[in-house]
Structure 1
Amino acid sequence: MGDKEKPLHEAIKPLSWLLGKWTGQGKGIYPTIEDFDYLEELEFSNVGQPMLQFSFYSVNKETKKPLHREVGFLRIKPGTSQVACISSHNNGVSEIAEGTVNGQTIELESRTLGRMSFGKDPQTKKLKRSLTLEGDTLHQVLYMETNTVPMTEHLRATYKKVP
């Protein structure tokens, strides 16, 4: 059954503004790395349950070399503004983040981070993320804390919906 055939679960209507494919670009900064520019594609799909499935795929803007990949689910507690994001990252991190949806803004903060045993240092200790739709532009900002750097902005990107 394709996504278009699944009825939209009543509980996820407050998240429906995310549905679809988005493309855009962003800038990565962090005290321990060189700044970089990237291109990214996001997709949020209806699965017929009180959640959206998502994927984030980024590449280096100049070289087109694959960078970060993330897949997961954005859940909402029915009848509330509480949301949870369950995701797996290609760098060996699994994340459960929780927060709120308020209009067309989602704020999330990691509650649990798992890490594969042979992940490279530094260790990610906490993530904070916001997604905001302003007009037809989706904005994402991600902050990261590692075992060597306190909570600091890491990524900032803007996207347009693919028609």
Structure 2
Amino acid sequence: MSASPASPPLHDALKPLSWLLGTWRGEEGKGDYPTIKDFKYKEEVKFDHVGQPNLEFSFCSSHYETGKPLHREKGFLKIQPGTSHLALVNTQNVGIVELSEGEVKGQEITLESHTIGRMTFGKDPAVTKIQRTFRLVDADTLEQVVHMETSATAPAQHHLSIQYKKVA
């Protein structure tokens, strides 16, 4: 999904998000939550564009030790032109669709879901809220922290944290 030389120019509205573009790899993500056992994971993230005022993204996580494919997320990050307001539209392979909105301030993005959709036969407890923060730590390091609330645990609590290194 990385932009090739033949790709259209970056839409002006996306300039505040240009630091996300590329492929990022995290080798030691940490997950925890009150209802599950703590775990580690690896994840590759790609952010790309097609010249429109949105970025497309994919998150592909794998088992820390075996490399077995795990969680997948795909979607779009759209900025409201002329503002710092943005929205994330995210589909997950576990049957969740997330619509989150928030702000970009410098090289940090904060998002909170306002809508979580789930398939009728999804596993309980149901996710009811997701909060995400993306932060550029330095030119080659991106951090993501995720807090989550479910039908069994409120308020939102820490769930995931990972630092990615830029690989392309």
Which of 3, 10, 14 is equivalent to 1:8? 10
Q: Which amino acid aligns with 1:152?
A: Q
Inter-partner Cα distance in structure 1 for 2:147 and 2:72: 17
Equivalent residue of 2:82, what SS? coil
Inter-partner Cα distance in structure 1 for 2:49 and 2:11: 8
Q: Which amino acid aligns with 1:154?
A: H
Structure 1 residue 47 displacement after superposition: 1.5
* Structure 1 vs Structure 2 CA RMSD: 1.0
TM-score (norm 2): 0.94
Equivalent residue of 1:29, what SS? strand
Deviation per CA, 1:114-161, whole angstroms, max 9, x where unpaired? 000111111000000000001121110000000001111000000000
Q: Does 2:26 match 1:50?
A: no
Q: Which residue of 1 aligns with 2:107?
A: 104
TM-score (norm 1): 0.97
Greater strand share, structure number: 2
Unaligned segments of structure 1, at least 5 residues:
none
Structure 1 residue 60 displacement after superposition: 1.1
Q: Which amino acid aligns with 2:13?
A: A
Q: Answer yes or no: is the 8 Å Cα contact 1:36–1:60 preserved in 2.
A: no
Unaligned segments of structure 2, at least 5 residues:
none
Q: Which residue of 1 aligns with 2:143?
A: 139
Inter-partner Cα distance in structure 2 for 1:93 and 1:54: 16
Which of 38, 42, 60 is equivalent to 1:39? 42
Which of 150, 158, 165 is equivalent to 1:153? 158
Deviation per CA, 1:29-73, whole angstroms, max 9, x where unpaired? 011111110000000001210000000000110122222100000
Q: Which residue of 2 aligns with 1:82?
A: 85
Inter-partner Cα distance in structure 2 for 1:3 and 1:127: 29
Q: What is the total number of aligned residue pairs between the two structures?
A: 162
Structure 1 residue 112 displacement after superposition: 0.6
Inter-partner Cα distance in structure 2 for 1:55 and 1:79: 25
Deviates more, 1:59-68 or 1:112-121: 59-68
Q: Which residue of 2 aligns with 1:19?
A: 21
Equivalent residue of 1:98, what SS? strand
Q: Does 2:72 match 1:69?
A: yes
